[in-house]
Amino acid sequence: MDLADYLRVLRDHWIAITATTIACAVAAFVYSSVQPQVYVATTSGFVTSGPGGDPNLDNINDVLGKSRAASYVGLAKDRETASLVIEDLDLDTTPEALVGNIDAAQTPETVLVNVSARASTPDGAKELADAWISALAERVSDVESGGDNDGLRLEVSDSALLPSSPVSPNVARTVLLGALLGAILGIAYAFVRTLLDRRLRSLERVESTSGVAVVGSLPELDGASGLFVTAQGADLSAQAAEEVRRMRTNLSYMDAEGQPRSVVVTSANHGDGKTTVALNLAAAIALTGQRVTVIDADLRGSGDDLAHSRGLDDGDGLTEVLTDRARLDTVLRKDPDIAGLSVLTAGHRPSNPSEILGSDAMRSLIAELSGRGMVIIDAPPLLPVTDAAIVAHLTDGALVVVSAGGTRDDELKTAIEHLHAVRARPLGIVLNQIPRRTARVRGAARRQETPPVTSDHEDKHVASA
């Protein structure tokens, strides 16, 4: 993965990442709010031997005081000192428990001993610190002189200051750490889901999965299944129309001999938008001045058909032509809006669609219509039934429509394998139903990088020339 792939993962999952970050920050705030507040008061004492006067003796006493101060730190944390404090403050606790609320340390290279006391109130912390340094001074006096005050002793420097705010919980820090943890979890979720997600979303992954080039990519159009290739402007319908015209151009230069004359449009599953793609591709070709016939070869009635999309009566159609119950010219209908476009509806649903579609009659029909112009065949999906593969074998190849975020990689692989199994040629992949946000970004980039696709009027001029 390169930087663009990482950014795409973050963009595709930004809602989950944001939600996880906010949720963890809120949880951290709630956790901090229910924690007991802890206040800390600090006081200190210094080791002294009384009045001096002799410089040499004072220097010796200073060195001795520094070394003794380190030992007094251990004295400050013992049970006997805690017992003196409990007796002094009349506390209902044990020495072991009380010692856990005390920190004692020597300031490096000095005779100072610092004592910090923790309590649930500011007054409690101050009283505990003052009582502890006094108890420590008493213990030092007992140890050093056996009750006399002539030897080394600990003098209290000053009483502890009343703490103004608790040291715990630190709400701001906890919330910040919670948000950071949430962001990490959200990003980890995004990448794990991306790695485990088998649904196809990008052109690069479609091509690497199928080994077939992507010849077109269409944005999601709110489930619309009609004709949009004539749309103009800058909205998504116009962008989709531009992509269909690109697809038409790609199809024209696919073979050195020229444009394929008969093309099947199919998909892996139902709902991928193959009928919409077939109809608009046929219309786009017809708008260049070519004669085009679009055939509804979905004889199983598995979804929206061409007759419904174009507002035509689905009476006699392909089934009747292939079974010699109707003549082609009597059931072939002109599209009401696109000149040069003819529609052959599916007709009545037969009991043996695969056999009918693979018959010599179907081969002859394709040959006859491709002799008149371009033939676009809307076939059933490849995975549920074999109809599309059978028809594709009789044509110049097949376009496979993939639903962005809907079709899995294994489904596309299997669909392509079905075509290869009957020696049908996959002409290309159409990535359909791209999310609107992604489609807008891609459309803007293409408009900046490439010249606009020629209009239909210009297409006709080029075709006639």
Q: What is the pLDDT of residue 20?
A: 96
Compute the average pLDDT of residues 372-397: 93
Are 180 and 115 in contact, with CB atoms under 8 Å apart?
A: no
Residue 314 has pLDDT above 50, yes or no: yes
Please state which CATH class domain 39-158 belongs to: alpha beta
Residue 348: CB atoms within 10 Å: 15
Compute the average pLDDT of residues 164-182: 93
* Residue-averaged pLDDT of the chain: 84
Calpha distance 211→205 (Å, rounded): 10
Calpha distance 48→324 (Å, rounded): 121
Place of tokens 């990448």: 191
Q: What is the pLDDT of residue 304?
A: 54
Q: What is the pLDDT of residue 7?
A: 85
Spatial CB neighbours of 376, under 8 Å, sequence gap ≥ 6: 263, 265, 278, 281, 282, 285, 292, 293, 294, 295
Residue 5 has pLDDT above 90, yes or no: no
Spatial CB neighbours of 425, under 8 Å, sequence gap ≥ 6: 392, 396, 397, 398, 419
Span 58-101, pLDDT tens digits: 677 678 778 888 888 888 988 999 999 999 999 999 999 999 99
Residue 133 has pLDDT above 90, yes or no: yes
Please state which CATH class domain 200-464 belongs to: alpha beta
Residue 117: CB atoms within 10 Å: 27
Q: What is the pLDDT of residue 222?
A: 66
Q: Amino acid identity, residue 98?
A: L
Tell me how long the chain is: 465
Location of each CATH 3.40.50.300 domain in the chain: 200-464
Residue 428 has pLDDT above 80, yes or no: yes
Q: How confident is the model at residue 295 (pLDDT cuts 50, 70, 90)?
A: very high
Location of each CATH 3.30.70.1130 domain in the chain: 39-158
Q: How confident is the model at residue 23 (pLDDT cuts 50, 70, 90)?
A: very high
Residue 439 has pLDDT above 60, yes or no: no
Q: What is the pLDDT of residue 453?
A: 40
**Which region among 154-163, 369-378, 395-404 has the lowest average model confidence (pLDDT)?**
154-163
Residue 234 has pLDDT above 80, yes or no: no
Question: Any long-range contacts for 218-223 (C-beta under 8 Å, 24+ apart)?
Answer: 218/243, 218/244, 218/273, 218/277, 218/430, 218/431, 218/432, 218/433, 218/434, 219/243, 219/433, 219/434, 219/435, 219/436, 219/439, 219/440, 219/443, 220/404, 220/433, 220/434, 220/435, 220/436, 220/439
